[in-house]
Amino acid sequence: MKYDIIIVGAGTGGALAAKTTAKLGLNTLLLERKPAESVGDKVCGDAAEQRDFDQLNIALPKGDELENTIKASNLYSPDQRVCRSLSETGSAGFIINRIKFGQRLLNEARDTGLEFYDQMMVLKPKFSQGAVVGVEAKDMRTDAQKEFESNVVIDASGFHSPLRKAMTSPYIESEIEPNDYIICYREILQVGGMDWDPHCIHIFLSQEKAPGGYLWYFPESENKVNLGIGVYADPKYKVKEYYKRYCLPMAQEPIEIIHQGGGVVPVRRPLWSLVESGIMFVGDAACQVNPLHGGGIGSSMRAGIYAAETAADAIEIGDCSIDGLWAYNKRYAKDQGGNFASLDLLRIAIQRFTDDELNFGLHRGLLSNQDIMNIASGRIVRPSVLDIIGRAIRGIAKPELLLNLYFINNQINKMKDIYKAYPNRPDFERWKARVLKLYDRIRRLI
């Protein structure tokens, strides 16, 4: 039997994609390698922004899906003396119970009547005349090999996606460079008390304590915390040792471990193209994660919906080629891709600053609360002349750092503009060259 659409992976991205295509009347098959009752069980910081739920019309987490309500996201200087808010005043978020939330999304998708096979491990795409026409899979209950065919495949199978790895397209990066992801470890701990505001999430920058990444302290209640760290994907940085040395001391005794585990987070711009003929990529498989704080729950749900809507249009007009699916690229680049690419530049810059420079820049207000918020929410940051003079005076002891910050800010603004002009069709060598030039400038500067 041939389906309209196959969705691989029933995580946050895949569940939303599947629910959307089925509701749009497409004959949908959802494949997941885990048993159904384990869907959603992912090692995660569990923080989700309310804005995503509101914008995507997803019911807010409540009851046992909701661990905690969050009023602000705080970003700290390496010495922890300066805190900048990553969220607008009044904007809120949640710490969710990942498995309960994942089960809700899966059930909502299944309630549409789509076909769902769990314990079905997708191995690779099926190609015909250069286009993806389905997938090959292994039934993990019986070890039997299976083949499924469709007009479009949506790959939402996460960072290690076997489908992306099998692509040989010039538009899709099949392998993600180690510089572009971080290795994380986190524990959920019952703790004796809390030194940090239990209704804020706390992110700590420090190249000494978390090289290439950050530490996080996300309260689930006044006595329970999701405590974790991400570092460069390089064997010389042993993530658990960093965790023990720098994270664990933040937890108040007596401590009891409720859950522990590790994972990988892509922290770069999204793939050059999120589509090829017959296939679309969503969520971690497409590197659609905020490079600054590693949040990918909201962006994967957004991408799942966008991909599903474009797939439905393409199937309706009978063009599932790269051209027919291209509208998803345009929409995502405009709404989120440009912002994530800009934050990727900032991430690369931050990774190269020393803790002293980061402390200095944040203490002296060279990067203000408003700047950080604007950058994090995708707005252009253009300081006024008075502002520039004020910062120049405050930054007088490190003029080079001040100049670097202005330069980085300019590149970030340029990246946003370039993404607004994402190509209208799969012919984008000149556009790619403009993006690469900005990366090159940032890497050469620092």
Residues that bind ligand FAD (CB under 6 A): 8-14, 31-34, 39, 42-48, 121-122, 156-158, 162, 184, 186, 228, 263-265, 283-285, 289, 294-298, 300
Cis geometry, peptide bond prior to residue 266 (ω within 30 degrees of 0): no
Structure tokens at 359: 């402390």
DSSP 38-91: GTT------EEEHHHHHHHT-PPP-GGGEEEEE-EEEEE-TTS--EEESS-TT-
Q: What is the dihedral of CA 252, 253, 259, 262, to 10 degrees?
A: 60
Structure tokens at 424: 């209208």
3-state secondary structure string across 28-48: EEEECCCCHHHCCCCCCCCEE
Structure tokens at 291: 């490079």
- Judged by beta carbon, residue 78 or residue 213, the one nearer ligand FAD is 213
- Judged by beta carbon, residue 44 or residue 358, the one nearer ligand FAD is 44
Shortest Cβ 136–ligand FAD spacing (Å):
11
Shortest Cβ 363–ligand FAD spacing (Å):
27
Q: What CA–CA distance (Å, rounded) separates 304 from 154?
A: 8
Shortest Cβ 372–ligand FAD spacing (Å):
18
- Judged by beta carbon, residue 31 or residue 435, the one nearer ligand FAD is 31
- Judged by beta carbon, residue 8 or residue 341, the one nearer ligand FAD is 8
Q: What CA–CA distance (Å, rounded) separates 264 from 181?
A: 7
- Judged by beta carbon, residue 38 or residue 179, the one nearer ligand FAD is 38
Shortest Cβ 203–ligand FAD spacing (Å):
10
- Say if residues 302 and 336 touch (Cβ distance below 8 Å): yes
Composition of the chain by helix, strand, coil, percent to 5: 40, 25, 35
- Judged by beta carbon, residue 44 or residue 412, the one nearer ligand FAD is 44
For residue 422, give the DSSP letter.
-
Shortest Cβ 8–ligand FAD spacing (Å):
5
- Judged by beta carbon, residue 263 or residue 426, the one nearer ligand FAD is 263
Shortest Cβ 120–ligand FAD spacing (Å):
6
Q: What is the dihedral of CA 55, 58, 62, 64, to 10 degrees?
A: -130
- Judged by beta carbon, residue 31 or residue 215, the one nearer ligand FAD is 31
- Judged by beta carbon, residue 33 or residue 268, the one nearer ligand FAD is 33
Shortest Cβ 61–ligand FAD spacing (Å):
13
Cis geometry, peptide bond prior to residue 78 (ω within 30 degrees of 0): no
Residue 225 bridge partners (DSSP):
189, 219
Shortest Cβ 388–ligand FAD spacing (Å):
34
Shortest Cβ 125–ligand FAD spacing (Å):
11
User: Pairing mode, if any, of strands 145-155 and 2-8?
Assistant: parallel
- Say if residues 13 and 303 touch (Cβ distance below 8 Å): yes
Contacts of 90 (CB under 8 A, 6+ apart): none
